[in-house]
Amino acid sequence: MRRSGLLLVVACAATLFFRLGSFPLLDDPNEGQYAEVAREMVESGEWLSPQLDYVLFLNKPPLTYWLLGASYRLFGVSELAARVPSAACALLIVLLVVWLGNLLFDPATGVRAGLILATTAGFFVESHLVRPDLELCLGITASFVALAYVFREGGRPRTLVLVALQSALAFGLLAKGMVALLVPALVALPLLVFSRRWSLARELLRPRAWWWFAVLVVPWHLVMSLRHSGFAWDYIVNQHLLFFFDKKEPRDSLPIPLWAFWAAFAGRMFPWTFFLPLAVRNAWRARRDFGNRLALLWASAVLLFFSIATARLEHYSIPALPALALLLAALMRDTTTTIERRLAAAHAIALLGAAAVSAFLAPLPLSIVLPVTITLAGGFAVAVLAPRQVGVAVAVGVSLLLAELWMVNGLAWYAPQNSSRATAQAVASESADAVLVFEAPIEYQNVAPLLFYLRRRIAILRPPRFIAPDYLVPHQSELFVSPEVLEHWWQTRDVLFLADPLMPRASMDAVVPGPYEVVWHNDDRWVLKSKRGSLPDDQSAPGRGK
């Protein structure tokens, strides 16, 4: 088991960190937002109040920015450094799942669970993206490791376990917000009811027992509330409560329908999606077992919570993946009868058929998709034949990890089509004295990738019907320009207008004043240049180079 665990760690580390910096920041998801805010932190030395385009930006908690800033200090500002925290969090989550599988089931199940999680497509892709969801997942997973010890121990939990629980919850909250508390609470409450351990409930609900959590969480929130008027209401009510019901202002994200959320979840669980019904059925039959009960409640809490939420996005299912990896590993442990083996084999055949079809339908070159399909076929063929042999499971897991190396080639092939780096290069080749103006029809944060590559301020055309959060109201003039100001600049200054790549247009005639020259155009990306005037001595324009 130790050799298997060591092989798992080495294989996961090699895979998760493979070619992290080999492709540019993606526009969707908005990797540039987190990468650029952290870059401006390092540049300005202001580590408490995050900024975007050198203007206050308090939409998200600070932990992800701090981790990115530390990575920049160690490795320099680059795509590689921006993605290191995500890959590191992914590796830690795999290790915690192995640990938790050992606690809840047995060592072999723990290793299998780590392998399953590491070879889940959505988890692997997330490890190569810049956003706080893996930090949130790490905090939630660590909190369940601590809760497992809390429920294992009789009587009052040890102080060390409570400190670990509070540290994990604080980590998740500072990474993504209140959902880091809600998910463990939605699981712990029914566990307490089922176990009837009312003394433990009183211990966990005792306010003075949470002093360490307060030490970690309160200072930043208090400083921001005192420093920036309107922060508390926006952060607590607007960004959490109103966001849950898709009533947040400004409405800077477009939620997806329920069917799309579940379809995205099924895709993220690939290639293990086909075995999920068996795993849930197996866990439900053994629900009196504490491990199955905890993992079932954990996955249900995440998926049902975001199914209810009106403002759901496709990646919100990520914190459920470790729980489902545990259930799938328990299924492999419990698949012993001939009927169960045949049922698992039928699922594997269905999976391989779907993989073969996707090899021809996927929007990627066959040279990338075909090796992934062949590797998956071999791995699952062995897994069905010997589901209880840990050594074979490790070999299968390694083959799946090799398939993921080919997935990185797919990301590198796809990324240039979904990145602003080429746009930034086109802008950089023009006059350094030109005023830069970015179109922001919905979400002004989309300017972030351009900021990351250009390293200069960009004026933003104010989004229509934009309602600024209270903390941003005093700073709007530093960030936005009106259409009237843009028209004036167009006649008197050298202006480069950058279109939002997430709002495709066949023509820009109705967007900018005329006349203009097309400096660069690629798919949905436009760089336009005003054809009149030159930059006067007035250097006060927000879009001037900094």
The better pLDDT of the pair 367, 450 is held by 450
498-526 tens-digit pLDDT: 988 877 777 888 888 878 888 888 877 88
Mean pLDDT calculated for residue range 417-445:
87
For position 378, what pLDDT does the model report? 56
Confirm if 168 and 216 have CB atoms less than 8 A apart. Answer: no
For position 216, what pLDDT does the model report? 96
75-96 tens-digit pLDDT: 999 999 999 999 999 999 999 9
Collapse the DSSP code of 146 into the 3-class scheme (helix H, G, I; strand E, B; otherwise coil) and give the result: helix
Mean pLDDT calculated for residue range 67-77:
96
The CA-to-CA distance between both ends of the chain, in Å, stands at 56
The better pLDDT of the pair 116, 380 is held by 116
Q: Which of 61-65, 174-178, 243-247 bottoms out in mean pLDDT, i.e. has the lowest?
A: 243-247
Residue 195 has pLDDT above 90, yes or no: no
Mean pLDDT calculated for residue range 231-249:
78
Q: Which of 124-138, 327-341, 497-511 bottoms out in mean pLDDT, i.e. has the lowest?
A: 327-341
Give 534's strand partners.
none
What are the C-alpha distances in Å from 301 to residues 180, 341, 362?
12, 30, 32
Mean pLDDT calculated for residue range 479-500:
90
Name the band, by pLDDT with cuts 50, 70 and 90, for residue 34. very high
Mean pLDDT calculated for residue range 470-476:
89
For position 470, what pLDDT does the model report? 86
* Cβ burial, residue 109 (10 Å; 0-12/13-18/19+): buried
- DSSP strands (E only) in 37-188: 51-52, 55-56
For position 91, what pLDDT does the model report? 95
For position 370, what pLDDT does the model report? 58
Mean pLDDT calculated for residue range 437-462:
90
For position 71, what pLDDT does the model report? 97
Average pLDDT across the chain, whole number: 83
The better pLDDT of the pair 396, 439 is held by 439
Distance CA 247, CA 239 (A): 9
Confirm if 438 and 460 have CB atoms less than 8 A apart. Answer: yes
138-171 tens-digit pLDDT: 999 999 999 999 988 766 778 898 999 999 999 9
Structure tokens at 439: 């179109």
Name the band, by pLDDT with cuts 50, 70 and 90, for residue 357. low
Judging by DSSP bridges, how do beta strands 495-498 and 525-530 pair with one another?
Answer: antiparallel
Mean pLDDT calculated for residue range 451-459:
93
* Length, in residues, of the chain: 546
Confirm if 373 and 356 have CB atoms less than 8 A apart. Answer: yes
For position 454, what pLDDT does the model report? 93
pLDDT winner (highest mean) among 247-261, 337-351, 410-424: 410-424
Distance CA 401, CA 231 (A): 44
For position 92, what pLDDT does the model report? 96
For position 351, what pLDDT does the model report? 62
Judging by DSSP bridges, how do beta strands 495-498 and 435-439 pair with one another?
Answer: parallel
Give 529's strand partners.
496, 517
For position 367, what pLDDT does the model report? 57
Name the band, by pLDDT with cuts 50, 70 and 90, for residue 450. very high
For position 341, what pLDDT does the model report? 61
Run of H or E including 141: helix 133-152
Residue 120 has pLDDT above 90, yes or no: no
For position 440, what pLDDT does the model report? 82
Mean pLDDT calculated for residue range 283-289:
87
Residue 395 has pLDDT above 70, yes or no: no
Confirm if 393 and 383 have CB atoms less than 8 A apart. Answer: yes
Mean pLDDT calculated for residue range 525-537:
70
pTM above 0.85, yes or no: yes
The better pLDDT of the pair 203, 329 is held by 329
- In percent, the amount of the chain with pLDDT more than 90 equals 40
Distance CA 518, CA 534 (A): 17
298-315 tens-digit pLDDT: 999 999 999 998 888 888
Mean pLDDT calculated for residue range 170-185:
94
131-147 tens-digit pLDDT: 999 999 999 999 999 99
